[in-house]
Amino acid sequence: MNNAPRTAPPAQAKTEAISRDDVAPTPDTRRIELGRRGEDTVVALIEDWGWTLLDRNWSCRFGEIDIVAMDGHELAIIEVKTRSSLNFGHPAEAVDDRKLQRLGRLAAQWLSEHPDVRAGTVRIDVAAILQQGTYLDCEYLHGVTL
């Protein structure tokens, strides 16, 4: 006779694959997705204008540049602000003097890390995107200054 204690067989966990479609989006994932859609819209727009996309979501220890593009001989540093409503103001209002100064420093850093890029001038543009239902409306501001 075996006096060893009896143990139950290990429980079999029921597992199911859960797709991303089965999970309700959180406010953060909706915000990130809306921001990505806004940037995609701006990239398509500038490519339609014949500009050359050089970089997207470039970052360094000082911050991030959403889009870097060449418009002829001008280097465009593009800040994209996307909003789902005007509850917190117009998207362009989020780009204040402090943000413009940071973008200027980031542009200088980007150029120092890309010495092969020759730009006659550098400018900061703001793409203000507002969601209108499923449509994204873009107001594009060239050469925003302090």
- Span 35-44, pLDDT tens digits: 899 999 999 9
What is the value of pTM for the model shown?
A: 0.80
User: Is residue 5 one of the residues assigned to a domain?
Assistant: no
128 has a pLDDT exceeding 80: yes
45 domain-assigned: yes
* pLDDT confidence of residue 30: 85
Residue 107 has pLDDT above 80, yes or no: yes
Residue 8 belongs to a domain: no
SS3 92: helix
- On whether the CB atoms of residues 81 and 92 are closer than 8 A, the answer is yes
Please check whether residue 133 lies inside any domain of the structure. Answer: yes
Q: pLDDT grade, residue 146 (50/70/90)? A: low
The whole-angstrom separation of Cα 27 and Cα 29 is 6
Provide the domain limits for residue 104. 25-141
The total of structural domains in the chain comes to 1
Instruction: Give the Cα-Cα-Cα angle 98, 104, 107 (nearest 5 degrees).
Output: 140
Say whether pLDDT at 64 is over 70.
yes
102 part of a folded domain: yes
Query: Six-digit token pair at 123?
Result: 């400018």
Q: Is residue 74 part of a domain?
A: yes
User: Looking at residue 89, which CATH number applies to its domain?
Assistant: 3.40.1350.10
Q: Residue 111, class by beta-carbon neighbours within 10 Å (0-12 exposed, 13-18 middle, 19+ buried)? A: middle
